[in-house]
Every structure is written in C-alpha cells, then in structure tokens.
Amino acid sequence: MEINPVNSEEFIVTSDKLDTFFNNLHSDNYQDNIYTEQNPLFPNNYVILSPVPTKILQISNLEYFAESSVLRYTSCTCDPDYYVSNGYNLRQNILNRETKIFIVVTMYNENYTLFNRTYHSLVKNINYFCSRNKSRTWGKDAWKKIVICIVADGVDKINKNVLNVLGMMGVYQDLVIKESTGNRKTQAHIFEYTSQVIVSDKYELNKFSDETLPVQIIFCLKVKNKKKINSHRWFFNAFASLLNPTICVLVDVGTMPSEKSIYNLWKAFKKDTNVVGACGEISADLGRWRQKIFNPLVAIQNFEYKVSNIFDKPLESVLGYITVLPGAFSAYRYSALVEGSIEKDEGKLESNLDNSPLSVYFKGETIHSSNGTDSIFAANMYLAEDRILCYELIAKKGKKYVLKYVKNAKAYTDVPENIGELIVQRRRWLNGSLFAMTYAIFNFYKIFLTNHSFLRIIFLIFELCYQLINQLFTWFSLANWYLAFDFFTRLKVKEKDPFFGYKEYVVDLLKSVYLLCLVIVIVLSLGNNPTSSQFVYTSCTLVFAIVFLVMIYSSVYTTIQKLLVSDFSSGFDLLNDAYLRDVAVSATSIFGIHLVSSIIYGEPWHMLTCFFQYILWAPANINVLTIYALCNTHDVSWGTKGEDYTNNIDTLYLKPLKNTGDFLKRTKDPKLKAADTTKEEKFFRRTLNEDKKSDIINNCPYIKAIIVPTTRPVEYFFYSLLLEMPDDSPNDHQPQFVNRETSGRFGIKKIESQYRTDKFQNENIEFNIQNDTKKKPYSITRSGRVVPLGLKQSPFTFTKVLHQVLTCERVQEIRIAAYLDNLLILGESKKKYVENTSKIFQKLSNVDLKTKLGRHSN
C-alpha cells in the first residue's frame, strides 16, 4: 500500500474519493484513502488526514466543505510538556488563525447525555458570538476565533456511547488509531475536526441550519487515566502553548453554561486588564421541569450554591480575591497563567517560567503520584489545586491581579443524588479547602510583594482574617454543635417542661442515640466505603435531623413561654432578657438574613423550596461530612462522581520501584467476602513480597509520608473538641480519678486486641503496660497526643465516648497503618517497641517487624 504525503492546506477531497472511502471504511483496504502529513524535521511523528463519511457532509454547509471534509489525526508519543518541542502542530496554526477563546471540556466516564448537554450549550454560546455583527472582535466568522478542546481521561474509562456520538459528529474514527510509532507508545490520540453536526439524545443527526455554524474541535483521547489535573496539563502545556489564546475557559462535562455566559466572562476580561480569573453563577441542575428538587440532597446542594452566590462570591469579588474559581465553569487569562516571576540579574530582566502560577498548579500531579515526596499536608492541599492557583494569581510578585465574580454568567451543573457520592465529593472539597486555605493564610506575606494599592492590600488581609476565623469555626463545629444541643435540651421556664414531665428521659434517650450514631459515623469513616454504607449513613442523618428538630421545638416552646409572661409595654426593654436577646433574636435573624438577602438579590425561591431540607441537613453536615473528611486525610483520590469509589485503605497499589520487581499491595482477604456481603466488620491484611521488603519501605517516601501522620489530624481534631465539651455527667456520676500508682498507663491494666487473618482469626493478644509512678494529670505520647489519665465518667459523657473511640483497638485494626504508629505508646523506646511488636506480628505474617517497619529504626 502506498501512502501519499500531502500538504493539508492544498489537500482537496473529491466526492468520488469520499464515496470510495465511506464504502471501504470497514474493509481491509480502508487505509488506501488516508493521507499523511510529513515533517522533515520530525519524520517519526505520525499525522494523517482521513476523509469523513459522506453522510456527515450531506448535512453540512458546503461553504465550509474543504475544512469539514477531513479529520486530522495525530498519534502523540511524548509528554504534553514536550508537545511543541517535538514538532507537533494544530490545524488552527496551519491555517494561521487567531484564537481568542480556548474552551476545555474535561471528561472521565460521564454518559453521552451529559456530554450532549454540555456540548449543545457551548454551541449556543459560539452562535451568540457569531450573532454580534456590530462587534469589532466578533461577528459572522467568530467561530474561527473559538476552539473547543475535549480531553478524555483514559481510553478504558471513557463512555463508549460518547465515542459513538463523537464519531457521528465526525470528530472520532477508531480505525485510524495507532497504538505506537516506532519504539514509542502513544500517549494520546488527538483528533482535529471542524464539525457542523449536532447529535440528539436519540442518536439522530440534526441537519445543518443557518443558526448552526461550524465548531472547531480538538479531541484528545488520553491512553491512560491520569486524573483531571493531567488533562489540564495537556490543555495548557500542549495545546494552549501553540494557540496562545487570550482567555481559557474550563468546563466539566455535565455543566451547561447559559447562552451568553462565556461572552459575559469575556467582557469582564476586556473591561479590566488586571482581571486574570473569573467565574459565573453556578446552580444545581434541577431538571427540565425542576423535578429533582424533590430529592432532598439535590435541594440541599441547590441551597448551598445559592447561598454561596449571594453571600460569598460577591463579597470576595469586591475584595479582589475569590478563594476558589470552580473548575466546573471558570475562565483565566492565559498570559497571566504562564507568566513567570521577573528577576533582575545584573541589570537585565529575565522571566522565570518555573515560578509561574501554572507551574505551581501542576505540582499537584506529581504529589498525587506514587513518586511524590511531599507531605500529607501538600497532598491534601493539592486536592484543591484551583484554590492554590487563585491565591498564586492575586499574590503574584510585582503584579496587581484580581479575580472577579460575574453574576450574569450562569451555568448549571449536575450534582450527586445519593449520600455516598456526596460524602466522597465533600471529603475532597473539605480537606482541600482546609489545607489550601491554611497554605494561603501562612503565605500572607506574599501580598506585600505585589503592586496592589494600599486599600487593596487592606481588603486582602481582611479577607484572610475572615477566612482564618471561618476555618476555626469549621474546626470546632462539632463541639459547638454539641454545646448547642446540650444547651437547648436544658431550657426550662418556671418549671414548665417542654417535654411535659418526661424531660430527663427524653434528654437521656437523645444523648444515648446521638452518641451511638456519632460513634458509628466515626468507625465507618475510619475504614469504610461510603457508597456501600449508604443505608447506615442515611439512618444516622435521619437521627441527627430528629435531634435537631427536638432542639428547635425546645427553643420555640421556651420562646413562646417567655413571650407569654413578658411585658410588651416595656418595648426595647425586652432585649434585657438574656434568653430573648441571645437565643430567640439570634436564631430568628439567621432565617431573616437569608430571606432578606435573597429578596434583595432577586432570587428568593430557594428559601421556599430548599430551606427546610437544608435545616434538617445541617447536623449531618457537621457530624457526617466533617468527621468523614478529617478521618480520611490519607485519601488523596479525587472521588469522581459516578465512579465505583474504593477507599485507599481498602486497596493501596504502588507502582514497582525501578530495577526491582517488588511491589507493596494491600488487598481484601478473599475469604472475608461473605462478611462483606453481610455488612459485618471488615478486616484487612497486608501482603508483602518477601524479597527486599525493607528496600520498598525505605525507598518509597510516599509510604513514610502516609503511615505516620494520617491519624494525627483526627486526633488533634477530636481532642481539641474536648476543650469546649462540658462535663455533662449526672450529679450521681461525677468523674473519679484512678490512682495511677496502682494502675497502668491511662488507668488501664491491659489492652486487648483481636486480629483476624488467614491463620489466626480468633487469637487474642494482650499487651501488659508497665506502671508509671510519675503523677501527672495528663500524658503526652510520642505521637503528640494529650490524653487524660484514668478518667472515669458516666456512659453519657461525650468526653468518655470520644476517648474510648480514639483508643479502641478495633478501630485501629481497620486502619492498620495508623495502628502501627499508635503502638509507639506501648514502648519505652523505639528499639524496645520494635522488639515487642516484632514477636507478635511474626506469628501473624511470618515477617519480621524490624524489616516491615524499618522506618522506625532510622
């Protein structure tokens, strides 16, 4: 077979060739109609021009026949950072077109319905640009200045129906794919096409109309799944570096920008050259007839989006620093992203691109890989890499960049519709925002190195202080919740019991049930898959909602009783009443502020349709989402919506080390399958290759970074709550201290632990703890814990429950790596610790713990 090299600008396809190509598409000689581009400087680059099927051209406008008749395919064998240096090119550069707006649509495993919804909305936006005939920039040929880049994260992950849709649009052909070129494997399949076809949800091709203009599309199908941040690296470092667009718009599949949204974002950049990032108003997609509002979780998220758009985003926009530009729909000025810091060297100005905001943004990809050497703090921080990018932009040295919120740039996005997916999503959001905001607060000094005005610096410092206070409230939210719960259940007015004489029974029952559900949530959070425990999480959420309803009832009842005995003739003197001033007024103002602000904003409907659901969800937001997030700081996965989520504790795969065939792999015991199906407690065992085990652990910094510190945020979180917890023991069960001279450490004679493995499923192991004769009211362990000594409290004491949960051996078994670190409290020295625990674990796995935990002997 002879392949004819041609120049793409001179390539003309006749109708006879198209008919022959279409007829032979599935035959053995289909490649006879494929033409190649040759670059004499890079002869190994595989770039071909493939005619599209005739049926696609029949419904296209013949005015753009030459451009819409050929699909350009590139088999890229290099990393996106070297795309330009390896001689690869794009059709827009070949045709000498200027790109003003470059849109990236990141895709994982979403179905074709979500893809169609996003693509159709983008086509409407492009048509609006083309309709602005009086504009100097836009007009009839505006589509030539806008490019859509679709990046699919992995050949095995992409939905096959999406490929079918892209094929019907003329963007994709599976028969032209080349898996390798020479000795190099393909890293990404890149398809370029100008499409005039829209595929409906029923797989129907919509015919061309005057309103449907061509759309320039680049479809990048990555061979391996390397997460969303890698998809953005292909977009920015490979494609945007060639096209050099003015602004880049980031859109997730499933997000629907309104018809004028992208144009409104463009205007924000056009009016102010200091604006380097902007976002619009994102709302939850409620369906065509708003039927999804009947799902409580969708209603809750819709309320959260509305509150953020009313309170947070406008304030942050005025101050100049939006803490996060949502990845689902946001825009950036490309020149600001790639601009490095300016350094003076002997009177010369040089740009250091390694310090550009975009380079800081892409550090998250290295950190989340198995080769990452950074701490668990950095790994969680880069779960919200868009927050890091926002701060790096406004704190750019020598610049006065600001971020802007554009209200009339609206977009609708799909949201999780079950509690399992919601918990996984919020785990990433909460942990990412906590650590990323901590990074911003500790790097506040960068603001003083910018060229911002004095007033703007004051605004930015004020916002950072506000965020600091907000983070503190979030950290102590569980303690504050329990304080409020304890306070409202004790309300009483002149012997009038809100529970009609059964108050003590009701309060004790509520506390018992609440603490039981809280312990269940903590245990599940430490080692369970949320998507497989949705019934338990839902049940606990309902219990927390009932508890909150009782609190509201107690507050309303007490307020009414207060008002009935109050003298209204005194007017403002009613505010002297401590209860009415501190409770009734403040509680009423919460609803009032939201209602008044929504009316001023012009969108009060969410208060009528979603406020009640959100109020009932508020306790679960604290007792479920926050606890799960902080109990899973070791999990730095993205928690993609729709993915069969697997916790990193369930399976932990590490790539083989160089020059060795060793690997470390944590798997479920196949013999415990029945226990999984019956929702019994899960146990895990560590399987380790016998050869060079110590080399694996010592040479893999990611293992060292995870095993030791992952439990510490959990410990700090719960123990810091004890600072605010009241001693709620009944009078006849006051706390009693045990004599430490006659008791072991923590006032306990021994700790029993039961391990289940293949060979020893019922073996009890006892650790005898030596007595400590030094009398102290507390103990500070080697891992940094502050533990009360020998404290005995009633069964209803919150402190007692938390302490028992944190020291529960069963909980530690679920997190084996964390448990190994916690055993340090049992030894007087590291050497003694290794010797004692080595004897025990040798029975379980026949592996010497000194080898297994070689990190402690350093």
pLDDT digits (tens, 9 = 90+) for 49-104: 888 887 787 777 666 666 788 899 999 999 999 999 988 999 999 888 999 999 99
**Higher confidence at residue 355 or residue 808?**
355
Q: Is 530 helix (H, G, I), strand (E, B) or coil?
A: helix
Question: Cα(513)–Cα(5) distance, rounded to whole angstroms?
Answer: 76
- Share in percent of the chain as helix, strand, coil (round to 5): 50, 15, 35
Q: Decide if pLDDT at 500 tops 50.
A: yes
pLDDT of residue 835: 54
Q: Is 584 helix (H, G, I), strand (E, B) or coil?
A: helix
**Higher confidence at residue 156 or residue 370?**
156
Residue 39, Ramachandran bin (φ over 0: left; ψ between -120 and 50: alpha; else beta): beta
**Higher confidence at residue 806 or residue 8?**
806
pLDDT band at 715 (very low <50, low <70, confident <90, very high): low
Question: Cα(478)–Cα(485) distance, rounded to whole angstroms?
Answer: 10
pLDDT of residue 827: 37
Cα 660 to the chain's mean position, in Å? 34
Sheet with 35-37, strands from edge to edge, namely 35-37, 46-51, 70-76, 188-195, 215-222, 146-152, 101-107, 247-252, 329-333, 275-284, 402-413, 256-257
Q: Decide if pLDDT at 223 tops 80.
A: yes
Positive or negative, the Cα torsion across 378, 380, 384, 390?
Answer: negative
Nearest to 397 by CA among 437, 364, 443, 459: 443
Residue 648 burial by Cβ neighbours in a 10 Å radius (0-12, 13-18, 19+): middle
pLDDT of residue 854: 43
Pinpoint the alpha helices (H) of 272-340.
296-307, 313-319, 334-338
Q: Which two tokens stand for residue 725?
A: 């917890």
Residue 670 burial by Cβ neighbours in a 10 Å radius (0-12, 13-18, 19+): exposed
Residue 179 burial by Cβ neighbours in a 10 Å radius (0-12, 13-18, 19+): exposed
pLDDT of residue 614: 93
pLDDT of residue 118: 93
**Higher confidence at residue 567 or residue 274?**
274
Question: Cα(77)–Cα(94) distance, rounded to whole angstroms?
Answer: 21
Percentage above 90 pLDDT, the chain: 34
Mean pLDDT of the chain: 72
Q: What is the mean pLDDT of residues 489-501?
A: 69
pLDDT of residue 676: 31
Asked if 605 and 611 count as a contact pair (C-beta separation under 8 A), the reply is no
Nearest to 46 by CA among 56, 61, 35, 54: 35
Q: What is the mean pLDDT of residues 261-275?
A: 94
pLDDT of residue 591: 83
**DSSP code, position 604:** -
pLDDT digits (tens, 9 = 90+) for 449-493: 999 999 999 999 999 999 999 999 988 988 888 888 887 777 665
pLDDT of residue 760: 31
**Higher confidence at residue 323 or residue 839?**
323
pLDDT of residue 765: 30
Q: Decide if pLDDT at 624 tops 90.
A: yes
Neighbours of 581 (CB within 10 A): 12
Nearest to 217 by CA among 153, 167, 269: 167
Q: What is the mean pLDDT of residues 253-266?
A: 94
Q: Decide if pLDDT at 235 tops 60.
A: yes
Cα 626 to the chain's mean position, in Å? 14
What distance separates the 2 farthest-apart alpha carbons in the chain? 101
Q: What is the mean pLDDT of residues 671-676?
A: 31
**Higher confidence at residue 853 or residue 711?**
711
**Higher confidence at residue 57 or residue 745?**
57
pLDDT of residue 76: 92
Asked if 100 and 246 count as a contact pair (C-beta separation under 8 A), the reply is yes
Q: What is the mean pLDDT of residues 264-288?
A: 93
Q: Decide if pLDDT at 28 tops 60.
A: no
pLDDT of residue 484: 84
Buried b (16+ CB within 10 A) or exposed e, 442-456: eeeeebeebebeeeb
Question: Cα(680)–Cα(814) distance, rounded to whole angstroms?
Answer: 12
Number of H helices, E strands in the chain: 35, 27
Q: What is the mean pLDDT of residues 774-788?
A: 41
Question: Cα(150)–Cα(217) distance, rounded to whole angstroms?
Answer: 7
pLDDT of residue 212: 67
pLDDT of residue 602: 87
Question: Cα(715)–Cα(635) distance, rounded to whole angstroms?
Answer: 16
Q: Decide if pLDDT at 653 tops 50.
A: no
**Higher confidence at residue 505 or residue 410?**
410
pLDDT band at 720 (very low <50, low <70, confident <90, very high): low
Nearest to 92 by CA among 33, 37, 143: 143
DSSP letter string over 427-478?
Answer: HHHHHHHHHHHHHHHHTGGGGGGS---HHHHHHHHHHHHHHHHHHHHHHTHH
**Higher confidence at residue 209 or residue 298?**
298
Which residues contact residue 162 at a Cβ distance below 8 angstroms, ignoring those fewer than 6 apart?
Answer: 107, 110, 111, 112, 115, 152
Q: Decide if pLDDT at 399 tops 70.
A: yes
**Higher confidence at residue 37 or residue 641?**
37
Question: Cα(60)–Cα(130) distance, rounded to whole angstroms?
Answer: 18
pLDDT band at 660 (very low <50, low <70, confident <90, very high): very low
Among 21-30, 367-376, 444-453, name the most confident range: 444-453
pLDDT of residue 856: 39
pLDDT digits (tens, 9 = 90+) for 294-352: 999 999 999 999 999 999 999 999 999 999 999 899 999 999 999 875 444 444 434 44
CA angle 278, 284, 285 (to 5 degrees): 115
Neighbours of 122 (CB within 10 A): 23
**Higher confidence at residue 43 or residue 472?**
472
Q: What is the mean pLDDT of residues 358-380?
A: 75
pLDDT of residue 725: 52
pLDDT of residue 490: 73
**Higher confidence at residue 124 or residue 181?**
124
Question: Cα(807)–Cα(824) distance, rounded to whole angstroms?
Answer: 13
Q: Decide if pLDDT at 279 tops 70.
A: yes
Q: What is the mean pLDDT of residues 363-367?
A: 80
**Higher confidence at residue 653 or residue 405?**
405
Question: Cα(370)–Cα(655) distance, rounded to whole angstroms?
Answer: 7
pLDDT digits (tens, 9 = 90+) for 143-196: 999 999 999 998 988 988 899 889 888 899 888 888 888 788 999 999 999 988
